[in-house]
């Protein structure tokens, strides 16, 4: 946790940190761990208010305890970037969890706590468009290992990693459904982890495929060493940033009417695309061309 927080303070708010109450707490120390998470979120180390928390699933005995200790803490609730809910089985379960989360967070003075839902069960995947439509939901993530395990051997273990994770039809379908649901409702699709911690090239390759082929705009890391390769993969190349700036500045001069750029017609449909390129570049901390500040 501390290494990730130190890296965030160094690089700035270009990535989020999720403190894990589900797998991060040792048996018998769940309450102490949730209190530690709340103290970190509420503390000075949360410089950009971009630290979230993953709680136990709503069917777990420690779920409500996590919510009370984190969302019910006014200092943590006010600075919590989001709350992540794992292992949801259905839309109904997500709605019930939201009701409990809002009960405690609103009592602590937080009215608009974003939720991130981990899609890793058959039921959640079946309801994925309805889950993405919930106003409290900000992002959906794919939990590949639990999803593959839920098939009890029908999907080989090789599909938990590359290249199988992108090639196996059932896994690829799940990824595409999640991404499509997010884009249909203006939410953020976040790709699953790469389990190879030390191979930066594998991390970068997975992130590149997730972005270019499956429409994901974020990706999980499981080690600080993975963060920079992921950021690099999701940052538009400088050539695309420069092209986007040229097209949008010319369009601005034309009062957003159609223009030609290097022999190609552009109108408001392509302007929206190139605006998103500049927005992604800004969010990634990339240098932007001069005179583009008025475009964002």
Binding residue positions? 54, 120, 146
Whose tokens are 């136990």? That residue is: 56
Q: How many Å separate Cα 220 from the centre of its chain? A: 7
Distances, alpha carbon 152 to alpha carbons 49, 98, 145, 156, in Å: 40, 30, 11, 9
DSSP state letter for 161: S
Query: Which one, of 188, 193, 194, 191, lies nearest residue 175 by Cα?
Result: 191
- Spatial contact of 214 and 206, defined as CB atoms under 8 Å apart: no
Binding residues for Mg(2+): 120, 146
DSSP state letter for 56: P
DSSP state letter for 24: S
C-alpha span between 3 and 17 (Å, rounded)? 11
Helix (H) or strand (E) holding 142: strand 137-142
DSSP state letter for 226: G
Binding residues for substrate: 54, 120
User: Reduced to 3 states, what is the DSSP secondary structure of residue 189?
Assistant: strand
Q: How many CB atoms lie within 10 A of CB 185?
A: 16
Distances, alpha carbon 248 to alpha carbons 51, 242, 270, in Å: 33, 10, 9
Give the CA-trace dihedral at 193, 241, 243, 257, to 10 degrees. Answer: 100
- Spatial contact of 198 and 225, defined as CB atoms under 8 Å apart: yes
Q: Which residues contact 16 (CB under 8 A, 6 or more apart)?
A: 50, 51, 52, 81, 82
């Amino acid at each position: 946790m501390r290494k990730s927080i130190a890296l965030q303070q160094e690089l700035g708010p270009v990535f989020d940190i999720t403190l894990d109450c589900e797998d991060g707490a040792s048996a018998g120390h769940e309450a102490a761990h949730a209190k530690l998470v709340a103290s970190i979120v509420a503390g000075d180390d949360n410089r950009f208010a971009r630290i979230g928390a993953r709680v136990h699933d709503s069917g777990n005995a420690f779920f409500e305890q996590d919510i009370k200790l984190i969302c019910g803490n006014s200092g943590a609730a006010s600075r919590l970037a989001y709350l992540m809910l794992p292992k949801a089985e259905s839309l109904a379960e997500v709605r019930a969890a939201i009701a409990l989360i809002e009960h405690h967070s609103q009592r602590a003075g937080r009215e608009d706590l974003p939720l991130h839902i981990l899609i890793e069960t058959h039921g959640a995947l079946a309801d994925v468009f309805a889950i993405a439509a919930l106003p409290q939901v900000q992002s959906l993530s794919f939990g590949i290992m639990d999803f593959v395990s839920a098939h009890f051997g029908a999907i080989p273990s090789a599909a938990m990693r590359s290249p199988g994770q992108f090639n196996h039809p059932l896994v690829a379908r799940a990824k595409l459904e999640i991404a499509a649901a997010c884009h249909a409702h203006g939410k953020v699709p976040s790709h699953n982890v790469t389990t190879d911690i030390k191979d930066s090239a594998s991390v970068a390759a997975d992130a590149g495929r997730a972005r270019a082929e499956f429409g994901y705009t974020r990706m999980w890391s499981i080690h600080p060493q993975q963060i920079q390769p992921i950021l690099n993969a999701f940052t538009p190349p400088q050539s695309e940033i420069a092209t986007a700036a040229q097209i949008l500045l010319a369009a601005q001069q034309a009062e957003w009417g159609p223009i030609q750029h290097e022999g190609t017609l552009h109108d408001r449909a392509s302007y929206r695309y190139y605006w998103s390129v500049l927005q992604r570049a800004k969010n990634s901390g990339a240098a932007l061309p001069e005179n583009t500040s008025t475009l964002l």
